[in-house]
Amino acid sequence: MFSAAKISPISKVRGKLSFQGDKSISHRAVMFASLAKGASTIHNPSSGEDVHSTIRIFKQLGCNIKEDTDYIRVVGRGFKHFEEPLTELYAGNSGTTARLMAGILVHQNFNSTLTGDDSLSRRPMFRISSPLAEMGAKINLFNNKTLPMHIAAVKKMRPIKYLLKIPSAQIKSAILISGLFVDEPSTVIEFAESRNHTELMLGLRVEKVPEGNLITVSRKNYPQSCNYLIPGDISSAAFFIVLALLLPDSELRIEGVSLNPTRSGFLKVLREMGADIEELNRRTYNNEVHGDLLVRSSELHNVAIPKDLIPNIIDEIPALTIAGLFSEGVFKITHAKELRVKECDRIAAMCSNLKLIGSDVEEYTEGYTFTGRKFDVPDDITFRTFYDHRIAMSFSILSFLLKDGAKIDNLACINISNPTFFTDIQKISG
């Protein structure tokens, strides 16, 4: 059990921050460096617990991985040369670890089992096992749905042409990573663009077709050892951006953050809401766009969010909701059923907490809606995190904005993605 922690209000933020490496890109850098033969260096990796889950698994598979303050040194094993693990492979709370590792493990010359914590063990895995089975993989899931995932060695896998039914970067990446082990080309077609870090880091060919994006992969794209520079995590920065926008007399510069177009929909929505966010010092490394953001206090109004943008902003919806709470007009999220199967049911979690402050929030199967600037905070309120790091950070930001602050029932889960969250708050709030 965790005891509730009180968060006191702050009046303004000023200064500059840089964030640890983007979590999604850090996962992939560790994976591709471990697949490659020889030494690679990953600069500015995420130190969150999720990425450590990926590192821990590759150590079990025989990779020599040295972690330092601001870099990771990986000596990869090369094509299908991992060692057979002596125990189950524990992915912790990390859906990215479990789903992308499946695409790797199905090609190894040994059996393996992927497990996770209670939260991850409730998340759907059939969406990964089904396309991998079409490629020839032998995967057994608990009740044919969830972890543990038992993977049997097979002699040969085949290419696949797969039309994504769900706009998910994890499903897409699991298939693409699996395609790295097959000589003949595999293709994935996505009707709605999701984050494209796998395609960029592997240099995959992406074509526009009537159905959407057609992505091609084969063993020709198998990664080689190299140096990676990970941009700051835009999803972690999102909470600080919202805080700076909503607190009066605030100005915050965020340096070296990811500006990948498939991740910047959050910024697009905020700008349409009236946010003063200036982009500076744009540059590219490892095919990923980095840059600085200058954020100033702004009066915001809620706007319609198009459904085709939802896959782009799925992780930032909790932070965006807090911005909507303090904005004029009606805030509405639709076509976001994927939020139901994150670390918790984020639709239910957001609505439950918003009701605690008297918001007129209405919950739907695929989203929710409420009127901005219409809430009444009772005394001695305690928000629930549901052990979800993004719910915890969202309602921490809300607590900083409330006149009397508020309590949060569990802040430990923030370490899953951003262990320096409160240290960074102190830096910019004095």
Question: Residue ranges of the domains in the chain?
Answer: 5-20+231-429, 23-229
Residue 298 has pLDDT above 50, yes or no: yes
Tell me the two tokens of residue 330: 């009606």
pTM equals 0.95
Question: At the fourth CATH level, which superfamily is domain 23-229?
Answer: Enolpyruvate transferase domain (3.65.10.10)
Q: Say which of 22, 315, 388, 424 is annotated catalytic.
A: 315
pLDDT digits (tens, 9 = 90+) for 267-297: 999 999 999 999 999 999 999 999 999 999 9
Q: Is 315 part of the annotated catalytic residue set?
A: yes
pLDDT, residue 73, reads 98
* Whole-number Å distance between alpha carbons of 65 and 76: 9
CATH architecture of 5-20+231-429: Alpha-beta prism (3.65)
Question: At 84, phi and psi to the nearest 5?
Answer: -70, 125
pLDDT, residue 346, reads 98
Q: Evaluate whether 34 touches 62 at the Cβ level (below 8 Å).
A: no
pLDDT digits (tens, 9 = 90+) for 303-338: 999 999 999 999 999 999 999 999 999 999 999 999
* Whole-number Å distance between alpha carbons of 423 and 415: 12
Average pLDDT in the 392-406 region?
Answer: 97
Residue 2 has pLDDT above 80, yes or no: no
What is the identity of the amino acid at 36?
Answer: A
| Distance set, CA 180 to CA 136, 188, 223, 233, 375 (Å) | 14, 13, 8, 26, 51
C-alpha closest to that of 279 among 298, 261, 265, 259: 259
Domains 5-20+231-429 and 23-229 share a fold: yes
Residue 1 has pLDDT above 60, yes or no: no
3-state helix, strand, coil split of the chain in percent (to 5) is 35, 25, 40
Residue 3 has pLDDT above 90, yes or no: no
What is the identity of the amino acid at 136?
Answer: G
Sheet holding 367-371, edge to edge: 330-333, 367-371, 362-364
Average pLDDT in the 405-410 region?
Answer: 96
C-alpha 164: how far from chain center: 19
pLDDT, residue 4, reads 84
